[in-house]
Chains A and B, each alone.
Chain A
């Protein structure tokens, strides 16, 4: 049961921090009750299936609620989400060939090259003020970039762009003030920069492969 409880607590991270603080323990208690009374073996799997479905549904509702309230009470959260989403999109767009791809995607890619270092620098400076939070963000930000280097320009990188947006939205929602939200917004920018710097046009790759 301890292991299941630990796993459930990790999954609870999908909910906004405020909600976890207020109801996290009660939710874990309820999860324990359900698993205990659900029987063993296959029934435990069925209980977990419904617990996971419930988690996805409720985490989505709570996140959307936080964003909706943010739109009403603080302009900076949705604004940070929008900016970061554009940056993440731009990072992915950097993989498009300027010769064959649409011009705006290429332009977004170039803009990412310019804006990402600024955002990352700001994030690193703020990291000194919020070390633990900043370090986690840097780690999350580096992961997709590292994969991008390995995968180069493959379409699966699109998934990392989506992951980047999701991680950033979660971090912004959890941020308790504007400064932390700014750090969170720098995370997808980091991914964008790493993606953009690992990009090379197909023609370059062809000639590189040819010369090799």
Chain B
């Protein structure tokens, strides 16, 4: 449970944009542009978040307690002080875990159905 008493399972399935941002921040704090580039890298360029979508989603994630703003700077000398950095909270990590579990179960179900349907026309796994 989060500090507000919310269970991680209450927030899954996560909206796609929130899921992407959580994954982008999973390996450390990043500023907005770094998040955007990481999301584009993770999705092979299929998803490019604009400023409006990114900060609108960040606002909702901050309100839900999934991420938080941080004053830490990875390398202050190379960085612009005006940039705002974000990192995943403990609650955010648990929500990400819950979402990953959910997707794994979904993939497992799809694999099972595909195996069962092998060789039968008109069903998954037929070809």
| A51-B50, A51-B51, A54-B50 known; A26+B56 contact, CB < 8 A | no
C-alpha gap A54/B51 in the complex (Å): 7
Could you say which of B36, B48, B52, B59 contacts A55, with CB atoms under 8 Å apart? B52
> In the complex the two chains form, is A59's CB within 8 Å of B50's CB?
no
CB of B65 closer than 8 Å to a CB of A: no
Bitwise interface map of A from 12 to 34 toward B, beta carbon under 8 Å scored 1, else 0: 00010001001101111111011
> In the complex the two chains form, is A58's CB within 8 Å of B56's CB?
yes
Bitwise interface map of B from 52 to 77 toward A, beta carbon under 8 Å scored 1, else 0: 11111011000000000000000000
Chain A's closest residue to B84 (CB) is A26
Residues of chain B lying within 8 A (CB to CB) of residue A57:
50, 52-53
CB of B13 closer than 8 Å to a CB of A: no
Please report which residues of chain B, range 52-106, place their CB below 8 angstroms from some CB of chain A when the two chains form the complex. Answer: 52-56, 58-59, 80, 82-84
C-alpha gap A38/B54 in the complex (Å): 18
C-alpha gap A153/B35 in the complex (Å): 52
> In the complex the two chains form, is A29's CB within 8 Å of B50's CB?
no
How many residues of chain B get a CB closer than 8 Å to chain A's CBs? Answer: 18
CB of B32 closer than 8 Å to a CB of A: yes
C-alpha gap A27/B84 in the complex (Å): 11
Chain A nearest CB, measured from B124 CB (Å): 33
Chain B's closest residue to A54 (CB) is B50
| A25-B82, A29-B32, A30-B36 known; A19+B59 contact, CB < 8 A | yes
Please report which residues of chain A, range 1-49, place their CB below 8 angstroms from some CB of chain B when the two chains form the complex. Answer: 15, 19, 22-23, 25-31, 33-34
Chain A nearest CB, measured from B59 CB (Å): 7
C-alpha gap A30/B55 in the complex (Å): 10
C-alpha gap A131/B51 in the complex (Å): 33
> In the complex the two chains form, is A50's CB within 8 Å of B48's CB?
yes
Q: Which one of B51, B53, B80 has the greatest number of beta carbons of chain A within 10 Å? A: B51
C-alpha gap A28/B82 in the complex (Å): 12
- 24 pairs, A vs B, C-beta closer than 8 Å: A19-B55, A22-B59, A23-B59, A26-B51, A26-B84, A27-B51, A30-B55, A33-B33, A34-B33, A50-B50, A51-B51, A54-B49, A54-B50, A54-B51, A55-B50, A55-B52, A57-B50, A57-B52, A58-B51, A58-B52, A58-B53, A58-B56, A59-B52, A62-B52
Listed in ascending order, the chain B residues whose CB lies under 8 Å from chain A are: 32-33, 36, 48-56, 58-59, 80, 82-84
**New contact pairs (10) apart from A19-B56, A22-B59, A25-B82, CB-CB < 8 Å:** A30-B33, A30-B55, A34-B50, A50-B50, A51-B50, A54-B52, A54-B53, A57-B53, A58-B53, A58-B55
